[in-house]
Amino acid sequence: MEQTEFYRPVWSEIDLGAIAFNMQQFRRLYPQKQLMAVVKADAYGHGAVPVAKTVLAAGADWLGVAFVEEGLALRQAGIEAPILVLGTTREAAAITAAVRAGLALTVYDRENLMQMAKLARQAGRRLTVHVKVDTGMNRIGVKGVDAAVELLQAAAEQPWIEVQGMYTHFATADEADKRFTRRQYDTFMDIASTLERHGLRPPLLHCANSAAAIELPETAADMLRIGIGLYGVYPSPEVSHTRIQLKPAMQWKTRVAMVKPVSPGETVSYGATYRVQTTEWIATLPLGYADGYSRRLSNVGEVLIRGHRCPVVGRVCMDQFMVRVPDGAGIQAGDEVVLFGRQDGAELPVEQMAAWLDTIAYEVLCMVGKRVPRVYR
């Protein structure tokens, strides 16, 4: 949801300049390669349409989405750049819509290929596909060199199918030990070499994600797929933070709704899980787990108010939660609250919230709910 006016003081602040900067950083590393900006999941919660327009202006050649619906939304916004649907597309209506919208689809088995060819013929327009190769994720993808040759040969016999690319996905590129990633890459390139000997090698090979783009430039192939790095988040703590400079693009904010003293022995929120020991000042914030602020942050998380780290006390409610604020800090209703981001020289990065939740920053960014307006600058 993008809007310029909202009535509840809860919003996600998106710095499109930071996203452009991050895109340009990857372009600087790979000036001669094609770059795909991955904008699936509403651009990791940042807003697919404004992000797509920003990254294309900053040097992206392709856009990557998970499902046909996401690609159609970009087309409806007037975006004409090449778009690859990275996920499974087996429903006839989805394939037909993709053909008509000029989306490229992922294919990985003969049955799906023949279905796509039939529907493309019926629509009277060739369908562009990229073949997905499974080199170790054991997710979707054709597995093994013989199966890949068979699939590419079948595709070459279909006049309504154009095989534009072939790709795989790395499982551990964001870890310190790169041996498995290198084995995946070698497997992928061995398949590509065999296909070339058969005259079947697609023109566009791609396998590197953000982590590989930062640390394994030898895996660049013809195109790199940049996802989390676009949004200013390093893929993991084990990935170099010095080879490329990234700027976080999202901050999540609200404002204090109420501040009041709570006496010793009183409890806060559902379940009475937090009991006040001495007189404490408790601030109520007007958002909760329905907005994506996880209930698992109850008695665990922190927020920034006037540069102070203020702990979450009691259970996070559906639409509200409470934090303890320092006595004498002058915090009052209307003060800005940072759930993750920066304030008055202090920082609470999204990675910290991810650590509290025992998850990754990707998930936290995608958790920010649809009823939280995105404000762009």
Could you tell me which of 316, 293, 307 has the C-alpha nearest to residue 346? 307
Known active-site residue 270: yes
Distinct helix (H) and strand (E) counts, the chain? 11, 20
Known active-site residue 118: no
Task: Please answer whether residues 194 and 201 qualify as being in contact, where contact means their C-beta atoms are separated by less than 8 angstroms.
Answer: no
Task: Please answer whether residues 173 and 181 qualify as being in contact, where contact means their C-beta atoms are separated by less than 8 angstroms.
Answer: yes
Please count the residues of the chain: 377
For residue 217, how many C-alpha atoms fall within 13 Å in the half-sphere facing its CB? 11
CA distance 212 to 239: 9
Catalytic residue chosen out of the listed positions 53, 132, 260, 270: 270
- From residue 93, alpha-carbon distances to 116, 123, 128, 226 in Å are 11, 11, 16, 29
Could you tell me which of 40, 228, 207, 37 has the C-alpha nearest to residue 135? 207
Task: Please answer whether residues 38 and 22 qualify as being in contact, where contact means their C-beta atoms are separated by less than 8 angstroms.
Answer: no
Catalytic residue chosen out of the listed positions 33, 40, 132, 253: 40
List the catalytic residues.
Answer: 40, 270
